[in-house]
Amino acid sequence: MILDAVIARTFCIEGVLACLTVIFTSVRHHTRRLYSMKGIGGDNSSGLCSPVSDADLHVLPSISMRSEQKCLSSEVHSTPEIEKKYVHRVYDAIAPHFSSTRFAKWPKVQMFLNSLPRGSLVLDAGCGNGKYLGLNSDCYFIGCDISPPLVKICADKGHEILVADAVNLPYRTGYSDAAISIAVLHHLSTESRRRKAVDELIRVVKTGGLVLITVWAREQEDRLLINKWTPLTQKYLEEWIGPGSPRVRNTSSTFALESIPEIAENGPGEQSNNFPAQPSNVVSHKIVQSNSRDGDQSLAPKTEEDCASQQEYFVPWHLPYHRAEVSGASISALANGLARKDDKKGAVVYDRYYHVFSEGELERLVSSVNGAVIVDRFYDKSNWCIILEKTS
């Protein structure tokens, strides 16, 4: 029945009739797949094929709409330090190597782009090395990314490209026919910034225009992969609120992770229990104190579900020594602690910040954005994906 609704809505969209059968088939395929995925996440969040209702909004209490809405635009727009250091600077440093490994095009993205009417203008917000720019030769593409070295790689391939922030696109409203955001939102460190990026994608397409968003899933196909990542809290504590951090030195009485409110909401205290190696006593003590002093109800009791709810990670990027040597960026990155050496692997290791999306989270995120409806959603290659249509 729900599939029927998806199909009915898809029928209303001009120009995608040709791909309808394909989408229908893929939705069915992924529906089966999704249900089989349910056990992996270990939570009780709603299945992807359930309609997104108000009830779903209560599944993840850590996503607090009301408090988010109070955020001033400047708080949303200004880039938190963690993104500057563990996303922007890392991609700047690894750009050529990253690009040389990013050539495989996801079939679902390809299918979406090939379904667009001839002559469409397509915006790619956070285009990386531009592997999807120009994919459909009947359409016209403009890409942007926040990393100048990645943008330069796109320009060298002859793509139309600019340096811009996906959270604050410098584009007129309603100008493009479609927009894509491929593997971008998971690099934004707050709920409000992720929602603003969705807002922007909707804003820049015309009424009736389609937006494809894909994000990394917490429910990875290869479950062992997650073991190779560093859950954020421990590293976060060391890096951002450790004894040496200016933030701790300056804010002894009101401990707060100002740049990442959701993490504060989730409660760094209980999340730190996810790690075999506890952070230093000093830091743990501070958190416990803060926890009890504030009496914050959002800092839920420690449960097993909290462990399963880990979504903030550092994901390593191994830059082989022979690639690093040609890049002066790695020398300075090693010198200032942005990267470390792994002699066993013969690589300079960078950490990239990720907020991996739980099942249903992307739906909840886009449901809070006005003026768009979900026309398709699916799981593909360890990514949650969604297609929106702008309605007004």
Q: Which residues bind another protein (CB under 8 A)?
A: 73-74, 77-78, 117-121, 138-140, 142, 144, 146, 148, 151-152, 155, 160-165, 168-172, 174-177, 206
CB closer to another protein out of 94 and 144: 144
Q: How far is the CB of 346 from another protein (least distance, A)?
A: 34
Q: Which two tokens stand for residue 85?
A: 């250091």
Contact 211, 181 (CB under 8 A): yes
CB closer to another protein out of 165 and 270: 165
Q: How far is the CB of 319 from another protein (least distance, A)?
A: 24
CB atoms within 10 A of CB 20: 14
CB closer to another protein out of 27 and 146: 146
Q: How far is the CB of 170 from another protein (least distance, A)?
A: 4
Q: Concatenated DSSP letters for 338-390?
A: SEEEETTTTEEEEEEEEEPBPTTHHHHHHHTSTTEEEEEEEEETTEEEEEEEE
Q: Which two tokens stand for residue 26?
A: 């893929």
CB closer to another protein out of 153 and 386: 153
Q: Which amino acid is at 172?
A: R
Q: Pairing relation of β-strands 176-182 and 121-125?
A: parallel
The residue behind tokens 């952070």 is: 279
CB closer to another protein out of 144 and 264: 144
- The set of residues, in sequence order, having a beta carbon less than 8 Å from that of 222 and lying 6+ positions away, is 382
CB closer to another protein out of 155 and 349: 155
Q: How far is the CB of 54 from another protein (least distance, A)?
A: 32
By CB atoms closer than 10 A (0-12, 13-18, 19+), residue 56 is middle
3-state DSSP assignment of residue 309: coil
